[in-house]
């Protein structure tokens, strides 16, 4: 990796950070629970935010009282992905300030990556709405040894960009995602969406991405104090 004197890359989470897709997942997850013969409670839905497909299904099967049989869980994963893809097809609403923030970072010359727990099939569809041009690379939940809250996705993104993790600013909205970025050694800009994220060393909270400037971006990385 190249030596960095300051902020070298911005690593973006997707669901709930750039696009308001958690509300779409609300629909498909609730429908899956009914498809499996149960109902999805609010606390279990909150626990799913930012999680991988398989952790989500573990929680789902516990919720509806089903055994974790591999074939049944694979069928449920296919059902959930297909239904969510149908909903994504109508387009994804932006989170406040997200599009302007993406344009700002791209114009700044900083390296960028999309780092998400969502599987590649859905990410490719989402990128039709978000714009592939904003990212140097994308790391998806089904392409890593362990996804969030493990640090692997962020470590892989930083390595591929050639930037040390401590010189990356990860932008996250969930406790699971923030934990992954922190574990990787990244500074974390938290913009909460569906659930609150507890404060921790190396994390800076902002109400939204609206009004973000290039100078503030660098100041946020300095204030996080991880390098």
The 3-class SS string of the chain reads CCCCCCCCEEEECCECCCECCHHHHHHHHHHHHHHCCCCCCHHHHHHHCCCCHHHHHHHHHHHHCCCCCHHHHHHHHHHHHHHHHHHHCCCCCECCCHHHHHHHHHHHCCEEEEECCCCHHHHHHHHHHHCHHHCCEEECHHHCCCCCCCCHHHHHHHHHHCCCHHHEEEEECCHHHHHHHHHHCCEEEECCCCCCCCCCCCEEECCCCCCCCHHHHHHHHHHHCCC
pLDDT computed for residue 76 by the predictor: 96
The tens digit of pLDDT for each residue in 187-209 reads: 999 999 878 899 999 999 999 99
pLDDT computed for residue 49 by the predictor: 83
pLDDT computed for residue 91 by the predictor: 83
All structural domains of the chain: 9-20+93-224 (3.40.50.1000), 22-88 (1.10.150)
pLDDT computed for residue 90 by the predictor: 82
The low-confidence residues of the chain, meaning pLDDT below 50, are 2
């Amino acid at each position: 990796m190249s030596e960095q004197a300051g902020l070298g890359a911005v690593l973006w989470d997707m669901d709930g950070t750039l696009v308001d897709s958690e509300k779409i997942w609300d629909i498909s997850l609730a429908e899956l629970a009914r498809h499996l013969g149960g109902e999805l409670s609010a606390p279990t839905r909150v626990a799913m935010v930012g999680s991988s497909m398989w952790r989500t299904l573990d929680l789902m099967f516990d919720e509806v009282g089903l055994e974790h049989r591999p074939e049944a869980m694979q069928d449920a994963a296919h059902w959930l992905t297909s239904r969510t893809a149908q909903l994504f097809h109508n387009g994804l609403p932006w989170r406040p300030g997200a599009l302007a923030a993406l344009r700002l970072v791209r114009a700044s010359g900083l390296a960028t990556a999309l780092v998400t727990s969502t599987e590649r099939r859905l990410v490719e569809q989402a990128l039709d709405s978000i714009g592939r041009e904003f990212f140097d690379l994308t790391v998806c939940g089904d392409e890593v040894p362990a996804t969030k809250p493990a640090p692997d996705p962020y470590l892989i993104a930083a390595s591929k960009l050639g930037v040390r993790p401590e010189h990356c600013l990860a932008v996250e909205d969930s406790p699971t995602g923030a934990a992954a970025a922190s574990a990787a050694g990244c500074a974390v800009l938290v913009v909460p969406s569906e659930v609150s994220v507890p404060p921790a060393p190396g994390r800076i909270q902002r109400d939204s991405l609206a009004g973000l400037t290039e100078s503030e971006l660098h100041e946020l990385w300095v204030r996080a104090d991880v390098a």
